Amino acid sequence: MLQNSNKKRIAIFGSTGSIGTQALDVIEANPHLFTAEVLTANSNDQLLIEQALKFQPNIVVIGDERKYNKVKEALASTDIKVFTGEQALEDVAALDCYDMMLAAIVGFAGLKPTLKAVQAGKPIGLANKETLVVAGDIIMQEAIKYRVPMIPVDSEHSAIFQCLVGETRNKIEKIILTASGGPFLGRKPNFLVNVKRDHALHHPNWNMGAKISIDSATLMNKGLEMIEAKWLFDLHHSQISVVVHPQSIIHSMVQFEDGSIKAQMGLPDMKLPIQYAMAFPHRIRNNFPRYDFMRPDTLNFEEPDIKTFRNLYLAQIALEKGGNLPCVMNAANEIAVYAFLRNRIGFLDMTDLIERTMEKITFIEKPGLDDYFESDADARNFAASLIKL
Ligand code: NAD
Ligand code: MG
């Protein structure tokens, strides 16, 4: 077990989100192991203030500068330092005062602070998969350079990471990412064309933020996770496979060269991979409900329907082609999801928008960081222009 004397000081970037709030639950349940040192939010000032008053961090950052005064005033009677703006997120990520970043911002916005934390030598608990989708080569190179552990929080990648403990000398033949299939498993385009926001937001097994819920409904989430896995585990695209497993009990699997397969299992609860990442290499006790093999469920497995859920097909193309294509795809997807959530485009229009953007933006085989930022901006502008956002 971890010692009481050296509590890990956690910086939660994106503390007001689904992952962020669950990370705070883990800290609250284990006050002898962890403290919340930094909390950041984009615009939810009210929740950030409540969290700050409860957890008494050293620093909070509110992204939206219009909310700064309100947060500052609410915390005036405390010692908590309050900063605001995009640059502040990066500056705070580079500070010495914390031990681990929990990267729980959603989307491309998480990239810069995470990169700064890596370059400051901070271990990362990585929920923000988009960081690796956009610039996985650069992030992983920097992680090696600064000897930074990248511990996945995404449940599938946490599962693979857990399966690999003790296997450093053994080659991976392939990994098998499990996918729940989302709320529209088995549906066809004639149904999907009429799907609305609220239906798509309702995931059968997980309660998550809006963006990842839509990504799960379109299967883009699994595509992003294939790319995330490539970088995290240094795999060739041919080693990454997906199987639909609607019950979300097996969180993913690793098949080794001898054909042996390891799986990591449990009831779906994001607090498990969050606390595993925070406490690694230790496991900490909890009283979460346990999976019961005696209950009358069966575990099912089937092939993903990439003809219907074409986002997964597009992500496989991006994974295989590499370069700036995953970055472009991610940017177009962020615009598509944003527009869908505001009822500006239909469910299937999201795929068209992404595909047209991937065709339009110039391919760069070996991009640098600036190329990624430029590709992201170009892809966003082009995608937004298609739907007159
Ligand atoms: P969420 O929308 O619930 O929360 C996002 C957090 O990021 C909030 O705190 C918000 O204030 C902050 N944020 C949003 N935009 C920002 C910006 N421009 N600048 C600074 N901060 C910003 O999202 P979530 O579901 O918690 O997901 C967070 C990340 O974790 C995503 O990358 C997601 O793919 C990944 N993830 C989530 C789950 C899950 O169960 N929710 C599971 C696996 C992976
Ligand atoms: Mg996942």
pLDDT of 5: 62
Q: Cα(177) to centroid of ligand 2, in Å?
A: 9
pLDDT of 133: 98
Fold of 322-389: Rna Polymerase Sigma Factor; Chain: A (1.10.1740)
Q: What is the rounded average pLDDT for all residues in the chain?
A: 97
Q: What residue spans of 39-184 are helical by DSSP H?
A: 45-55, 68-74, 86-93, 111-119, 129-145, 155-164
pLDDT of 157: 98
Q: Is the dihedral of CA 111, 113, 115, 121 positive or negative?
A: negative
Q: Cα(156) to centroid of ligand 2, in Å?
A: 5
Distance in angstroms (rounded) separating the CA atoms of residues 276 and 164: 14
The string of pLDDT tens digits covering residues 318-333 is 999 999 999 999 999 9
Closest ligand to the CA of 251: 2
Q: Locate the ligand 1 atom nearest the alpha carbon of residue 18 and give its number.
A: 26
**Beta strands 100-103 and 81-84: pairing type?**
unpaired
Helix, coil or strand: residue 200: helix
pLDDT of 2: 52
CA-nearest residue, atom 21 of ligand 1: 42
Percent of the chain with pLDDT over 70: 99
CATH for 4-152 is: 3.40.50.720
Residues with Cβ within 6 A of ligand 1? 14-20, 41-42, 44, 63, 104-106, 109, 127-130, 154, 206, 208-212, 270
What is the residue extent of each domain of the chain?
4-152, 157-270+292-320, 322-389
Q: Cα(109) to centroid of ligand 1, in Å?
A: 10
Q: Which residues of the chain have pLDDT under 70?
A: 1-5
Instruction: With CA atoms as reference, report the closest residue to 161 among 254, 235, 225, 99.
Output: 254
Closest ligand to the CA of 45: 1
